[in-house]
Amino acid sequence: MRLIFSALLLLLVFNCDAQKTTAAKTDASLRRPKLVIGIMVDQMRWDFLYRYHDRYASNGGFKRMMNQGFNCENTFIPYAPTVTACGHTTVYTGSVPAIHGITGNAWWDYEKNRTVYCSEDKTVKTVGSTSAAGEMSPRNNFATTICDELRLATNFRNKVIGIAIKDRGGILPAGHSANAAYWYDGGTGNWITSTYYMNDLPQWVKNFNSKKVTDAFYEKGWNTLYPINTYTQSTKDENNYEAKAFGSDQKGFPYDLKRFTGKNYSAVSVTPYGNTMTMMMAKDAIAYEEMGKDSITDFLAVSFSSPDYVGHSFGPNSIEAEDTYLRLDKDLGELFDYLDKMVGKDQYLAFLTADHGVAHVPGFLTEHKLPGGAVDDNKLVSDLNTLLKEKYGKNGLVLSAYNYQISLNHDVIDSAKLDRSDIVKEVIRYAKNIKGIDRVFEIDELMEQPMQMDVKNRLANGWHPKRSGDIQLIFSPGWIDGGAVGTTHGLWNPYDSHIPLVWYGWGIKPGKTNQELYMTDIAATLAALLRIQMPNGCVGKPILSIVQ
């Protein structure tokens, strides 16, 4: 009897231990980080991780993420056009413009019969200034973001905040149900929001605005972080194909910014100080909104807009671009130090990616005997309208060339009973003879075009019937839309579509992969890590090397 009792007691103890183990595993499977911080760098080519690698600080942001985190080396944007609004929306929805509907920074909208800006919303008012810069919301996005899904999963008990100099960089990632999104009003020097989120700024944002940090940055001016002769990864300081962002008399370093004090608050965006200011806003949001202070996961979506302004003006091979990234590295390092202190090391999950890359400046390519150039898209529209008026007697038959697509004036064509197919043929005949335009075709015939399948699929992923044009333009490699100075982005080519993706912090084991991945996989991976539903338009897949 004693033997039987002992056996039963042993079985009971074993069963209790097994239940405890099972419970522990269950609890572990439901654990989440205290805070997720999404870091978007506006206009960051993947190769910038390595181009300036030797100059990044060991305790900075980039090396910290690369050495201690997981690096997805071969991540691409799976659609075109590769522009800011599409990129931010796609990262956070896991979807593509064909589904979420953000087909560009702006587009000709055939339902509204006018140009529409990606985050415009005339039903809301500016909060934080008297300008119209706050008449914005996420309503033009048809899909939920991963931030929306986290709000749903926590029954709206958590906090989600978006921050960026650009309104679209703060609004579109944070999603429809965000507690707040803040962006910078270059007309007043204030960080603002809209009545979509609130009727008055929090006191901490008012306090930030009262400091007028932009004027303090202007007093410093912009000189290189290190001696200028050490910037050997960049071209010489002064080039005639670079824009004169601070006035025609300022041709190179050091840049005198004092002239803008109290007058021009937008110039700071074209300096590394725009990144520093954004980092400061992010730190204040973490502190004063008490983000990451409890077990309910918060989400801070931060986008650093200044690299895009700098890159457009000076190009990816400029000293200005290099200095911007060296300084951004220090800003990111300071942000991570702050997160370690305020949230706790390994208590937050961070990822860093970009909305798009950038093409080389055409003048730089010519200087080095590389193929490339610029197509003046404004002149193309003007020339086409002149040509079509001569033949059909009607003005304005071409409305725009947004997003490398020509939009025709359907109302005039229909009311005048013009032959649309004949007009399409005229446009194609003219445009295909312009140097730098590789192919032109009616968008309805995309799937029948004899062309490389990856390019075809990316164009299809970027097309929405209500927000895209009638005729598709494809530029030759190295060619951009623009003029004689500066550069841009927007095409399928690797310089525009190969982006960084690095994970760091909670639940992330060090490593890297060269597997081909896509921007759409980020939201799916976050959903898997957080154990929540994917956004409702998500077409991405979880990155197995991270979630397993």
Residue 482 lies in a domain: no
- For residues 338 and 216, membership in a common domain is answered with yes
Its sign, for the CA torsion 218, 259, 326, 64, is: positive
Separation of alpha carbons 281 and 128, rounded Å: 15
If asked whether residues 246 and 295 sit together in one domain, one would say yes
> Do 188 and 300 share a domain, yes or no?
yes
Q: Is residue 422 part of a domain?
A: yes
Residues 214 and 282 occupy one common structural domain: yes
Q: Pull the structure tokens for residue 446.
A: 């995309």
Bridge partners for 161 per DSSP: 180, 300
Strand-pairing partners, residue 439, are 474
CATH at 450: 3.30.1360.150
Determine contact, residues 487/450, Cβ cutoff 8 Å.
no
Residue 484 lies in a domain: no
Q: Convert the pLDDT of each residue in 445-500 to its tens digit.
A: 999 999 999 999 999 999 999 999 999 999 999 999 998 899 999 999 999 999 99
CATH code (residue 539): 3.40.720.10
CA-to-CA distance for 161 and 530, rounded, in angstroms? 18
Clarify whether residues 539 and 438 are in a common domain: no
CA distance 78 to 90: 10
443 & 346 share domain: no
String of DSSP letters for 384-438? HHHHHHHHH--S--EEE-GGGEEEE-HHHHHHTT--HHHHHHHHHHHHTTSTTEE
Which amino acids are annotated catalytic?
Answer: 84
Domain extent, residue 504, equals: 35-366+493-547
Q: What whole-number distance in Å separates Cα of residue 35 and Cα of residue 33? A: 5
Cα separation, 110 vs 131, whole angstroms: 28
Residue pair 96/497 in contact by the 8 Å Cβ criterion? no
In a domain, 286, yes or no: yes
Give the chain's domain count. 2
For each successive 10 residues of the chain (548 residues), what is the average pLDDT? 42 44 46 97 98 96 98 98 98 98 97 96 97 98 98 98 98 98 98 98 98 98 98 96 96 97 97 98 98 97 98 98 98 98 97 98 97 96 97 96 97 96 98 97 95 97 96 98 95 98 97 98 98 98 95
In a domain, 19, yes or no: no
Helices (H) then strands (E): counts for the chain: 20, 21
The pLDDT of residue 102: 98
Sequence-distant (6+) residues with CB within 8 A of 288 are: 202, 204
Cβ(442)–Cβ(471) below 8 Å = yes
Interatomic CA distance for residues 335 and 343, integer angstroms: 11
Residue written as token pair 């706050």: 134
Residue 184 and residue 278: Cα distance in Å, rounded? 9
Question: According to the model, what pLDDT value does residue 18 have?
Answer: 46
Identify whether 188 is part of a domain: yes
What's the rounded Cα separation, in Å, for the pair 170 and 300? 10
3-state secondary structure of 464: coil
Distance, C-alpha 364 to centroid of its chain: 25
Q: Which of 446, 476, 506 is the last residue of a domain?
A: 476
Give kind and range of the element (H or E) at residue 382: helix 377-392
Residues facing residue 512 across a β-bridge: 71
Residues 385, 350, single domain; the answer is no
- Residue 102 phi, psi dihedral angles, 5° rounding: -85, 90
Neighbours of 444 (CB within 10 A): 13
Q: Domain boundary at 433, 448, 476, which?
A: 476
On whether both 95 and 41 belong to a single domain, the answer is: yes
Tell me the sheet residues that pair with 184: 191
Q: What CA–CA distance (Å, rounded) separates 274 from 189?
A: 11
| Total residue count of the chain as it appears in this document | 548
Distance CA 224, CA 278 (A): 20
CB atoms within 10 A of CB 42: 27
451 and 468 housed in the same domain:
yes
* Domain annotation covers residue 488: no
Residue 254's contacts (CB-CB under 8 Å, 6 or more residues apart) are 221, 222, 223, 224
Tell how far CA 238 is from the center of its chain: 29
Same domain as 387, residue 325:
no
Burial of 488 (0-12, 13-18, 19+ CB in 10 A): buried
- What separation in angstroms does the CA of 535 have from each of 75, 143, 527? 20, 7, 8
* 87 and 229 fall within a common domain: yes
Cα 434 from Cα 377, distance rounded (Å): 11
Q: How far apart are CA 107 and CA 117, in angstroms?
A: 7
Rounded to whole angstroms, the Cα distance separating 24 from 28 reads: 6
Domain boundary residue among 476, 501, 533?
Answer: 476
pLDDT of residue 20: 42
Task: Assess whether 354 and 384 both reside in one domain.
Answer: no
Residue 128 lies in a domain: yes
What 3-state DSSP class applies to 225?
coil
Contacts of 138 (CB under 8 A, 6+ apart): 119, 171, 172, 174, 175, 176, 178, 181, 196
Among candidate residues 466, 417, 421, the one with its CA nearest the CA of residue 441: 421
